[in-house]
Chain A
């Protein structure tokens, strides 16, 4: 469903993403790991069509993001890294805007979707509040709600549990898992248990390059007896020292 082929992104002389390739299908949850500045967000921005790759392609459901950006964007729900909402809007206004921009114009349908994501993301108590007055965790939940409102085939979530309390982290993970049956999901995270808990595939990138692409179990088995944290540190220690 999602095919990424030798994606490269250069910022001036810096190669932020260096020939990243992978394919994921319906039912997959791919965990994207890597130290800060590894190129996770940049890769996601290219898949969602926000950034144009220097070279390489990203294809969703047969549509190349460079050639059919609109078709690709229709199929993706995206949670950007920095919660990208409009501060003066209320939660309901914002979600309505996103839904309408995504082509959900039928009033009943729209209300149904709104009610659905408000329940799923536990936003009922804040739905008429301005987004600027929400706490970070609630803003993050609004971001998740916005990403799933059109029930997309592909979800790209950049650190979806960032800023959430432990209960909400658990809720969001459950939500992601519940949705995964008929979707292809890519999420980035710095919480390694999260990968163990919900992902069936892990990719580690460092300095723009893919170091590891396997199942969490295989990954953990790399160093027998070690935790997933320790394996991660072992793999990325070069860049930590650099």
Chain B
């Protein structure tokens, strides 16, 4: 896929890609150390996975904001859509390219995993499902970002709006919100919010449970957003 290649290597053609990766990495390590990676004395990646969704809220829109906005701004979208490529494969290729780049970012955090393996004896199964959870969260966030990026020719606007949507979606089912709303809202409503929540689903995965409801939540959301993305670019 030429578009995949172009997009993926595009991240490395300018310093921006490296900067995004570096900042992501520093945030991950920083937060892990801050929340006591060494001092807790347990061999797990909890300190990595707990703050991870919050980091992804910023990291993913930073990666995905350029996908369509940049093409629209520079006018290259005119070239893209006069090439014999269907809009559907363009949407998918761009999404996968950005996801592959995010995959590199996540792979870098494996350094933490290996350190954990060196220092102790972690549960690799839990770690694996945690990473799957992270990747699924990333693809859902990325598909949201892709839609925002397709709606504007301004990358900054795409970034800000995506961060807001991802943040909102994460907060929606958080324990924090549940406590805040507490008794004022019927429990059924809270349960519904939790069903839609990123945090709840990710927590399950980070604990080592790959459950169907979490999987289908992420996958449905991703596919729905990519469908929306397609509709937006086809006008």
A residues adjacent to B (C-beta < 8 A): 45, 48-50, 52, 70-71, 73-74, 76, 78, 80, 82-89, 97-98, 100-103, 146
- Mark interface residues in B77-101 (1 if CB within 8 Å of A CB, else 0): 1110111111000000000000000
**Nearest residue, chain A, Cβ from B76:** A84
In the complex, the answer to whether A146 meets B2 with C-beta atoms within 8 Å is no
In the complex, the answer to whether A70 meets B84 with C-beta atoms within 8 Å is yes
B residues adjacent to A (C-beta < 8 A): 2-3, 5-6, 10, 13-14, 74-79, 81-86, 235
**Nearest residue, chain A, Cβ from B3:** A101
In the complex, the answer to whether B82 meets A101 with C-beta atoms within 8 Å is no
Distance (whole angstroms) from the CB of A230 to the closest CB of chain B? 34
**Nearest residue, chain B, Cβ from A49:** B82
Most A CB within 10 A of own CB, among B10, B13, B84: B84
7 pairs, A vs B, C-beta closer than 8 Å: A73-B85, A82-B75, A87-B74, A88-B13, A89-B6, A100-B5, A146-B79
B78 partner residues in chain A, CB cutoff 8 A: 45, 50, 80, 82, 84
In the complex, the answer to whether A86 meets B83 with C-beta atoms within 8 Å is no
In the complex, the answer to whether A50 meets B76 with C-beta atoms within 8 Å is no
Question: How far, in angstroms, from A83 to B85 measured CA to CA in the complex?
Answer: 20
B82 partner residues in chain A, CB cutoff 8 A: 48-50, 73, 76, 78, 80
In the complex, the answer to whether A84 meets B74 with C-beta atoms within 8 Å is yes
In the complex, the answer to whether A86 meets B75 with C-beta atoms within 8 Å is no
**Nearest residue, chain B, Cβ from A97:** B6
What's the count of A-B pairs with C-beta under 8 Å?
61
Out of A87, A88, A102, name the residue touching B84 (CB < 8 Å).
A102
In the complex, the answer to whether A73 meets B14 with C-beta atoms within 8 Å is no
In the complex, the answer to whether B79 meets A88 with C-beta atoms within 8 Å is no
Question: How far, in angstroms, from A80 to B74 measured CA to CA in the complex?
Answer: 12
Distance (whole angstroms) from the CB of A16 to the closest CB of chain B? 16
B2 partner residues in chain A, CB cutoff 8 A: 97, 100-101
Q: Known contacts A45-B78, A83-B75, A98-B79; can you find 14 more A-B pairs with CB under 8 A? A: A48-B82, A50-B81, A73-B85, A74-B84, A80-B75, A80-B82, A82-B75, A84-B74, A84-B76, A85-B76, A88-B13, A101-B2, A101-B85, A146-B79
In the complex, the answer to whether B84 meets A86 with C-beta atoms within 8 Å is no
Most A CB within 10 A of own CB, among B3, B76, B79, B81: B79
A89 partner residues in chain B, CB cutoff 8 A: 6, 13
**Nearest residue, chain A, Cβ from B87:** A69
With A50-B82, A102-B83, A146-B79 as known contacts, state yes or no: A86 contacts B3, CB within 8 Å.
no
